Structure 1
Amino acid sequence: MSTIEFDVELDARQLSCPLPILRTKKMLAQMQGGQVLKVVATDKKSPDDFTDFCKQTGNDLLSAAQQGDEFVFYLRRRQI
């Protein structure tokens, strides 16, 4: 598995919906366009939530993978 370079990491483990998305939204708002955010979550609904979030907000979902009982997402902040 290739490693994606990222600028910021967000630990959303043990948080239930909608907190992983809300924290992601807040973190992305602090980032520059084009920067990459890595999110690690354990909420089983996360894959669908992050896919929908990116479609609605215009941010790029670069990767979504499950590693054990954790989900790892890489999002690129949309250009403003």
Structure 2
Amino acid sequence: MELKTNLTLDAKGLACPMPIVKTKKTMKDIEDGQVLEIQATDKGSKADLEAWAKSAGHQYLGTIEEGDVLKHYVRKSSGEDEQEIKHPNIVDNEDLDSLRKNDDILLLDVRESAEYAFEHIPEAISIPLGELDERAEELDRLKNVYIVCRTGNRSDLAAQKLTEKGFQNVYNVVPGMIGWSGETTNL
């Protein structure tokens, strides 16, 4: 089935955060109500684009998989001038490194499982962003939740999701693993 779109964006071969960065830029160039098709190969792009569209006020229509290519469909909202929502509680990598062994914190890594497997902070538990809605109840609501991803984008979206679900003390770690110089391990 061929879907009618107004513009196609090629984000194949790009890793987080580039599919979202390119999508944001392209959305500025299309008219309200138009549909953008984003073609990507990054498996994490489905959860990333869906969450980003929601936070930016656009309508995420869905994703069709064709082989290794994910075709995402996003309809531009009429409120393009609205500010994209960002989670207000942010900590940097150095603060996280000093806190990470405390018993009252939970360190959540929302990168894809393959990213986590090859390098992660030893105390981190893995729940990819795309699984967070159905797995959020696995997390201890009484702990301070620090969320890490590669660059701080997915973790921002995850922090918003957990806050919407009633978690009280949620922090986005910026810039995330791309700037992490502390201890790491792998599977």
What is the match of residue 76 of structure 1?
75
TM-score, normalising length from structure 1? 0.92
User: Mapping of 1:28-43 within 5 angstroms?
Assistant: 28-43=27-42
Give distance in 1, aligned partners of 2:18 and 2:4: 24
In structure 1, stretches of 5+ residues that fail to align are none
Q: How far did 1:3 drift?
A: 2.4
What is the match of residue 11 of structure 1?
10
Q: Secondary structure at the match of 1:52?
A: helix
Asked if 1:61 corresponds to 2:60, the answer is yes
Q: Secondary structure at the match of 2:36?
A: strand
RMSD, aligned CA: 1.0
Q: How far did 1:37 drift?
A: 0.5
Q: Secondary structure at the match of 2:37?
A: strand
Richer in strand (by share): 1
> Computing the radius of gyration over CA atoms, which structure comes out larger, 1 or 2?
2
In structure 2, stretches of 5+ residues that fail to align are 80-187
Cα deviation code 1:1-52 (max 9, x no counterpart): x322111110000011000000000000111100110110001101110111
Letter of the 1:37 partner, please give it: L
Give % identity: 35
Letter of the 1:20 partner, please give it: P
